[in-house]
Amino acid sequence: MLDTLLLSRIQFAANISFHILFPTITIALAWFLAFFKLKYDLTGHPVWLRAYRFWVKIFALSFALGVVSGITMSFQFGTNWPGFMEKVGNIAGPLLGYEVLTAFFMEATFLGIMLFGMKRVPPKIHTLATFLVAIGTTLSAFWILSLNSWMQTPTGFELRDGIVYPTDWFEVIFNPSFGYRFFHMLLASALTASFLIAGVSAYRMLKNDEKHAPKKALTVALTVAALLTPIQAFVGDLHGLNTLKHQPQKIAAMEGVWETEKGAPLLLFAIPNEEERRNDFAIGIPNMASFILTHDVNGEIKGLNEFKGEHPPVKPVFFGFRIMVGMGMLMILVAFVTRFTLWKKGELPKWQLKALVAMTFSGWIATLAGWYVTEIGRQPYIVSGILRVEDAVTTIASENVLFTLIGYLTIYAILLYAYIRTLFHTASKSVEVEEYDMKEFAEEVTRV
């Protein structure tokens, strides 16, 4: 029989993995929408309104899924992880409180106006509402990543009788890993949304959608992707250096380094063997890991054996990291090739459109893999060095947790399937929609 601890961990992981898919889309998609709407206001060109109207539907759907799965999270803390609030509630509470107050209400209220209010408010107010939704989603990311980063690299507090008390809120919020994680996540969202827009637009074009809106959206999305993929690689690298400084055991697991060594190799492939504490089938580039992490080919990397009993399970962190980096590389390649072709030829050949469709959810894979690295990499702690996972879990009977876990997994599987089906259904339905009035377009086109 599985125990309550393991089941609660699986349940939390399932909930948060499902949840993060949707904010990852909506954080940046809101800014894309704000851009489309602003462009429409400034140029009056109907193509921007078309793009807005199509993507606002996807936004509404993604947002609803994010909201309902997010509500689940707020209950889970109490039901399954009572020790978390007991020990670190004085920090976690206010940060989550600020998220609800400053972000959730703003997003949810202005979303109503953004979705259904275009005819009811002046254009400027509608554009403002769109911007406020975008600001709301970003603020929400700000607070939740601040809390998550604090759990990774806690500062600005003191411990009295095992309970955490805040001493300096600035240090709590802007803890050492926060800035890196926040920008890494914002960029992840931007890339996830870019590849989603590019993939769905390419899908429409493959279905012989000759209208201007999907082409325009595709161009914007690929431009953003080509600009931001290399920046993401750079920020990710900085984030890694920050982790090396504050959580060396996580880096050791990511790189599969067991013994502290100088000139550690960059392992391209290996199977970490935790029983014998070594890697099987290792293929690597000599000295490369040391060079990347310390900028010195003979730099020292601390090994997992220095953290016995205090380091995360190695396999998921090791493979998660490789999936994230591998997907990131592929995204750079695809973004560069397609944007370059578009620039040179003004359109994309079929195989490139197909490649973009295949990459529609590449952002999800990279983002999830990245989160698995950082969250599993924090184990066995829920808050680094302060609170172990097993000390925070509930005493609820394991059968109850098993029952709810099965329920959640079933619902999430159905919803994910329905979401993807509906996404492409909405795309094919829009293929049949008429292009806007061409006469109007002819007049407007001179202004673009």
Residue number with CB closer to other proteins (166 or 263): 166
Residue number with CB closer to other proteins (247 or 430): 430
Residue number with CB closer to other proteins (117 or 284): 117
Nearest to 357 by CA among 190, 210, 214, 211: 214
Tell whether residue 47 is a contact of other proteins (CB under 8 A). no
Which of 17, 102, 341, 352 contacts other proteins by CB under 8 A?
102
Residue number with CB closer to other proteins (90 or 219): 90
Residue number with CB closer to other proteins (65 or 228): 65
Residue number with CB closer to other proteins (222 or 405): 405
Nearest-approach distance from CB 255 to other proteins, in angstroms = 38
Which of 70, 176, 272, 370 contacts other proteins by CB under 8 A?
70
Nearest-approach distance from CB 360 to other proteins, in angstroms = 17
Residue number with CB closer to other proteins (227 or 418): 418
Sites for other proteins among residues 346-405 (CB under 8 A): 394-396, 400, 403-404
Nearest-approach distance from CB 317 to other proteins, in angstroms = 30
List of residues 6+ apart from 343 with CB closer than 8 A: none
Nearest-approach distance from CB 26 to other proteins, in angstroms = 12
Determine phi and psi for 164, rounding to 5 degrees. Answer: -85, 130
Tell whether residue 106 is a contact of other proteins (CB under 8 A). yes
CB 194 within 8 A of CB 224: yes
The amino acid occupying position 234 is F
Tell whether residue 123 is a contact of other proteins (CB under 8 A). no
Nearest to 112 by CA among 67, 148, 154: 67
Tell whether residue 426 is a contact of other proteins (CB under 8 A). yes
Nearest-approach distance from CB 366 to other proteins, in angstroms = 25
Size of the site for other proteins (CB under 8 A): 67
Nearest-approach distance from CB 207 to other proteins, in angstroms = 15
Determine phi and psi for 21, rounding to 5 degrees. Answer: -55, -40
Longest dimension (CA), the chain: 75
Residue number with CB closer to other proteins (350 or 425): 425
Which of 32, 35, 40, 63 contacts other proteins by CB under 8 A?
63
Residue number with CB closer to other proteins (96 or 317): 96
Which of 120, 295, 308, 344 contacts other proteins by CB under 8 A?
120
Sites for other proteins among residues 128-167 (CB under 8 A): 163, 165-166
Q: Which long-range contacts (CB under 8 A, 24 or more apart) does 289-294 make?
A: 289/255, 289/257, 289/264, 289/265, 290/262, 290/263, 290/264, 292/237, 292/240, 292/266, 293/240, 293/241, 293/244, 293/251, 293/255, 294/244
Nearest-approach distance from CB 114 to other proteins, in angstroms = 9
- Dist CA 182 CA 416 (whole Å): 26
Sign of CA dihedral 250, 251, 255, 256: negative
Paired tokens of 122: 């002046």
Tell whether residue 108 is a contact of other proteins (CB under 8 A). yes
Which of 61, 185, 191, 342 contacts other proteins by CB under 8 A?
61
Which of 121, 282, 386, 445 contacts other proteins by CB under 8 A?
121
Tell whether residue 85 is a contact of other proteins (CB under 8 A). yes
Tell whether residue 101 is a contact of other proteins (CB under 8 A). yes
Paired tokens of 9: 């961990």
The site for other proteins (CB under 8 A) is made up of 53, 56-57, 60-61, 63-65, 67-72, 74-75, 77-79, 82, 85-86, 89-91, 93-94, 96-98, 100-102, 104-106, 108-113, 115-121, 163, 165-166, 169, 394-396, 400, 403-404, 407, 411, 415, 418, 421-422, 425-426
